[in-house]
Structure 1
Amino acid sequence: MKKIAYLFLLLCIIFIPYGCTSSNEAKESGLIAKQSATKSTVDENNVELMISAAASLTDTLNDLKAGFESENAHITLTFNFGSSGKLVQQIENGAPSDIFLSASKKDMDTLQDKKLIVDETRVDFAENQLVLIANKDTDTSVASFEEIDPSAIGHFAIGEPESVPVGRYTKEVLEHLDLWDPLQTKLVLGSDVRQVLTHVEMGNVDLGIVYSSDAKISDDVKVLATAKPEWHEAIVYPLAVVSESKHLEEAKAFIAYLTSDKGKEILKKYGFK
C-alpha cells in the first residue's frame, strides 16, 4: 500500500509542473497573439500621406506638418518637393503620390487633362509674386526691373522655363521688358526656385528672380523690386488629390486643414497671398 501511495505521489510531482508550464505558455501565447493583433490593427489604421509639392512651399508645409498631425494622429505627412513640372512627370510615370500642390495652373491642367487627378478636389489655395533679388552684401543701384542692364551683369539666376513655373513667369516678364534675348548669355538656370535662391545667397550671380515667399525666408538676400502683375500670367497655386491615391478621406482632411484659417495663417506667415 505504501508503495502504491509512493508511486501516486511521484506521478503527481512529474505531471503537475508540466500542466502548469503548459498553462503558462498558453497564457503567454495568448497575450502575444493579442498584442500582435492590436499592433496590426494600429498599423492598418495609420496612414502615410505622400504630398508632392512645389519647392516654394517647403517652409510652409514643414511648419504646417506638426499642427496637422497633432489633430490627425493616425496620419503622417511625407513631402516630396521639387519643380512643379518635374513632379508632374513623376506622377505621370506612376510615382507614389496622394496630393499634388502646384505653383502653376498649367502643370495642374496637364494632370487633369490626362485624368490623373480627382477633379472635384481641385482648388486654388494661394497666390504669389515675382521679385528681383541680389545678395544682401551686393552694392547695386538697380531699383526696378526696368533698370536691369544686361551689359552690366555677369550672371543672372532664373528658374528653367520649360519645367519650373517661376522660370516660365520670369521669361514672360523679361520678354515683356525686351530683356530676354539680351540676357541669354548671362542666364544661370535653376532646377527649382530654391536653387535660384541659393545661387543668389552664395553670391554666385549678380541678380536673380524668385517668388516673394522665397525671398522672405532668406536673411542673405535683399529684394530690389517686385514685378507688375500684368507682366506675367497670374501666379496661382492649385492643389488636387491624385487619382491613384488610396487615401482619399485622409487627403481631403489635409486639404481642409490647409485651406482653414490655421492653414491660411501659415501661408500668410511665409509670404503667400
Structure 2
Amino acid sequence: MNLKSRRIPNLILAAAVMLTLLISWNLFKNFSSVATLQRTSLTVSAAISLSQALQELKRVYQTSNPNVTITYNFGASGALAQQIQQGAPVDVFFSAATRQMNDLQQSNLLINDTRRNLLTNRLVLITPKNGLALSDFKELTDAKIKKIAIGEPKSVPVGQYAQEMLTKLGLWQQLQPKLVLANNVRQVLTFVESGSADAGIVYTTDAKTSDKVTVRLTAAENLHSPIVYPLAVIRNRRNPAAAKAFVDFLAGDRAKIVFQKYGFGIAS
C-alpha cells in the first residue's frame, strides 16, 4: 500500500475522533446549561408577623436569584413547629420566639450552625381607632372593657408574652373572663379592627400595618421574656445549600433595612 493509500484511513480516523470530541463537548455544555437553569424550590415556615417584610424580601432575593422559588407558610410559631416535627417538608423555620426553635433543636431537626437570633419586637396594647384611651394596663379591668384579644399562649408567642406580662402585673387571673384567644397575632389585630374586641395585645410591627387601631401602651421589656426571632435551616432537606444561602441573605445588611422599615429591631 503506497503512502497516499495509508493516509486516507488515518484522515477518516482523525475526523471520527474529532467528531466524537465535538459531540461530547456539546453534550457537556448542554448538560451544564440544564444544571445551571434547574430551579430550586425552598419552603419557608415563618411567624405571621413577618409576612409583609418577608414578601418584600422574596422579591428582592429572586431578582438576583431567579432560579430559586420561595414558598412561604405563615402562621403561629407553635403550630408551624409542630408541623415540622410531624414531618412537614420545610427548608427554613423563622420563629417569633425561642421556645419553638428550642423544641426543634432538641429533636435534632435543625442544622445547628445555621441557627441565629435575628430580630426583636415590642409588645403593645391596642384599641379600635376611636376606642377607649387607656393609659395603664390596669385599666383593662374596667367594666367598659368587655373583651380583650390575645394570642393563644400555648401556641402563639405573642399570647405567651401577653400572659407573662399580665401575670407580672397581677392581672392574669382577674382578666380571664374577658379574654378572647386568637390563633395568631394577625387574628388578634382583626378582632380589634372589627370591634369584636375592645382591646388587644399585639406586636408593634402588626399595629403599624393597620390604620384601624390605635396603640395605647407599650409594655416594659422587663415584664416578659425577650421577644426574639430566631431562624434556622431544617435538617435532611434536599437543598441545604440553597436554604443556607437564603438564611444568610435574611441576616445580611440589605434585609435588615427592610426589617427595620416594618418596625423590627435587630438582635445584637
What is the TM-score of this pair, normalised by structure 2?
0.85
1:218 Cα shift? 1.0
1:229 Cα shift? 0.3
- Give the match's secondary structure for 1:181: helix
- Give the match's secondary structure for 1:70: helix
Moved more, 177-186 or 204-213: 177-186
Name the counterpart of 1:5.
none
What is the TM-score of this pair, normalised by structure 1?
0.83
Distance 2:144 2:175 in 1: 10
Q: Which runs of 4+ in 1 moved over 4 A?
A: none
1:144 Cα shift? 2.7
Name the counterpart of 2:24.
none
Query: Which residue identity lines up with residue 75 of structure 2 in the other structure?
Result: G
Distance 1:75 1:222 in 2: 39
Name the counterpart of 1:216.
208
1:43 Cα shift? 9.1
Q: What RMSD in Å do the two structures reach over aligned CA positions? A: 1.8
- CA offsets 1:216-237 (integer angstroms, 9 cap, x no match): 1111111000000000000000
Name the counterpart of 1:192.
184
Matches within 5 A, 1:110-121: 110-121=103-114
Matches within 5 A, 1:190-269: 190-269=182-261
Query: Which residue identity lines up with residue 176 of structure 2 in the other structure?
Result: Q
Largest Rg, 1 or 2 = 1
Equivalent residue in structure 1 for 2:93, among 89, 94, 100: 100
Name the counterpart of 2:169.
177
In structure 1, runs of 5+ residues without a counterpart are 1-33
Checking the alignment, whether the CA contact within 8 Å between 2:43 and 2:73 is kept in structure 1 is yes
- 1:271 paired with 2:229, answer no
In structure 2, runs of 5+ residues without a counterpart are 1-26
Distance 2:120 2:127 in 1: 23
Give the total of aligned pairs: 237
Checking the alignment, whether the CA contact within 8 Å between 2:123 and 2:218 is kept in structure 1 is yes
Equivalent residue in structure 1 for 2:72, among 79, 83, 104: 79
Checking the alignment, whether the CA contact within 8 Å between 1:150 and 1:182 is kept in structure 2 is no
Identical pairs, percent: 46
